[in-house]
Structure 1
């Protein structure tokens, strides 16, 4: 089922009809296996109704279009925060340690969060690709690539992380979840939608900063250090989106940072934080 969901998300930018068919099959399997219940199906039914209304009437009424977009945004935020009832995301890793000095953590396959790109593309056709990337040079990309391990080393210097090499047996599950059920959803909301919308009404750099701050705030449960770290990471992902105009490029940087974090540093944090 999860491979079908990942395939559906992979196809969303290039073949929406195929993507939707795969999502319908995935949803049926999810209902059969009790990963979702009637409340989640009701939510998806409402989403279908909103989609039909948006396709048929939003172009005729500016006010209706804005109202539907706000509703879709709120639905996306609800999915991101796991507050939409009816989704029973299975736990894949339960209180595991990446290494002896790493904090234990758990990981889920998030069906609800994975739906965010499907919701946002209804009102943002340019979610995956914009034709207005910032003119860039090779050194821009080299700087961004260096910033990925650089940010993690800053976290080491602050005491939040420690260098620790890992070779977890569950690496494949981690990568699958990170690409499709975490990074793609977060980048769709914060870069593909929010940063792009903000950029249409304010200077792009200010849009980048605001979207990154909101991304950092999303991680408030992990404490102030994680909020700061996530905000700085958001700047990297946002710059990748600005330079390329491609959502998948931002996802690539997001996944690369998370993977680098897991393989070479204490994950998700050093178990003996100095504060």
Structure 2
């Protein structure tokens, strides 16, 4: 472990300890976060045996998901605001700051950050830029009629708070998990089996798009296809660039535009 990694470890330990003491992070999630950091640190090493690497992947994947989503009974993350339901008696939207999810995303981002290798496909910069530029508009344009979204602007202070949580908790954590841990790992596994480069990229993109839809439980009807489109375009931006910043940026803008201007959450 070099000095930079040691410093990051100390910062992470201090942050986790402070959040637990403040009552903003459950102790069991804090322990899980330490496990994620340790596993990710070993997993990123190229020189380890591929079977050990596969074992680390199948330990890390469910642990990351569990730490980010598990909320012990009686524990609650800080609540920033609540939106009333659209129907009488309907529960509204509540924006919590899920610190476990934020920290697990940050750990994956720092430890699994990917630099493209010579044998990997990377599109020309203009295609990377165009994918990031047009993807949010395409997703929103499809979602409005498909999901029956109406114009419902939110208050400025609500938009600002949502933007911060959206970036630091939702977009970073979900895209670090989906792209750096899942999509890149599946692509690498396909490459190690001798698959052609287009097969490596297409297979990992399709599989992870399916996983993206599955982890958003409760989707029915048109919502399934809208989420599939979103997951596909997030993943495509990573396929073209091998830079996780692109899917993070697209995910951020799709969520922010949806929240700030349209019916939120998606009508059931």
Scaled by the length of structure 1, the TM-score of the pair is: 0.75
Q: Is 1:242 matched with 2:231? A: no
C-alpha spacing 1:60/1:171, structure 2 compared with 1 (3 Å): closer
Q: CA deviation at 1:79?
A: 2.2
Q: Is 1:34 matched with 2:31? A: no
What SS does structure 1 have at the residue aligned with 2:123?
coil
What SS does structure 1 have at the residue aligned with 2:18?
helix
Unmatched runs of 5 consecutive residues or more in structure 1: 1-14
What SS does structure 1 have at the residue aligned with 2:218?
helix
- Contact map agreement 1:216 1:226 (CA 8 A) in 2: no
- Contact map agreement 1:40 1:86 (CA 8 A) in 2: no
Q: CA deviation at 1:144?
A: 4.5
**Of the candidates 221, 228, 233, which is equivalent to residue 218 of structure 2?**
221
C-alpha spacing 1:69/1:214, structure 2 compared with 1 (3 Å): closer
- Contact map agreement 1:89 1:108 (CA 8 A) in 2: yes
- Report the aligned-residue RMSD: 3.3
| Larger mean Cα displacement after TM superposition, 83-92 or 29-38 | 83-92
What SS does structure 1 have at the residue aligned with 2:80?
strand
C-alpha spacing 1:62/1:204, structure 2 compared with 1 (3 Å): closer
What SS does structure 2 have at the residue aligned with 1:169?
helix
- Contact map agreement 2:105 2:169 (CA 8 A) in 1: no
Q: CA deviation at 1:264?
A: 2.7
| Larger mean Cα displacement after TM superposition, 245-254 or 58-67 | 58-67
Q: CA deviation at 1:221?
A: 2.2
Unmatched runs of 5 consecutive residues or more in structure 2: 191-198
Q: Is 1:194 matched with 2:182? A: yes
| Structure 2 match to 1:177 | 165
What SS does structure 1 have at the residue aligned with 2:175?
helix
What SS does structure 2 have at the residue aligned with 1:106?
strand
Q: CA deviation at 1:91?
A: 2.2
| Structure 2 match to 1:8 | none
Q: CA deviation at 1:76?
A: 0.8
C-alpha spacing 1:21/1:130, structure 2 compared with 1 (3 Å): farther
Q: CA deviation at 1:128?
A: 4.4
What SS does structure 2 have at the residue aligned with 1:221?
coil
What SS does structure 2 have at the residue aligned with 1:107?
strand
C-alpha spacing 1:85/1:240, structure 2 compared with 1 (3 Å): farther
**Of the candidates 255, 260, 268, which is equivalent to residue 257 of structure 2?**
260
| Larger mean Cα displacement after TM superposition, 209-218 or 80-89 | 80-89
| Structure 1 match to 2:196 | none
Measured in 1, the distance between the counterparts of 2:54 and 2:22 equals: 37
C-alpha spacing 1:45/1:269, structure 2 compared with 1 (3 Å): closer
* Number of residue-to-residue matches in the alignment: 249
Measured in 1, the distance between the counterparts of 2:126 and 2:39 equals: 43
What SS does structure 2 have at the residue aligned with 1:175?
helix
C-alpha spacing 1:225/1:219, structure 2 compared with 1 (3 Å): farther
What SS does structure 2 have at the residue aligned with 1:93?
strand
Measured in 2, the distance between the counterparts of 1:51 and 1:204 equals: 23
Q: CA deviation at 1:220?
A: 2.2
- Contact map agreement 1:187 1:250 (CA 8 A) in 2: yes
| Structure 2 match to 1:71 | 59
Q: CA deviation at 1:233?
A: 0.7
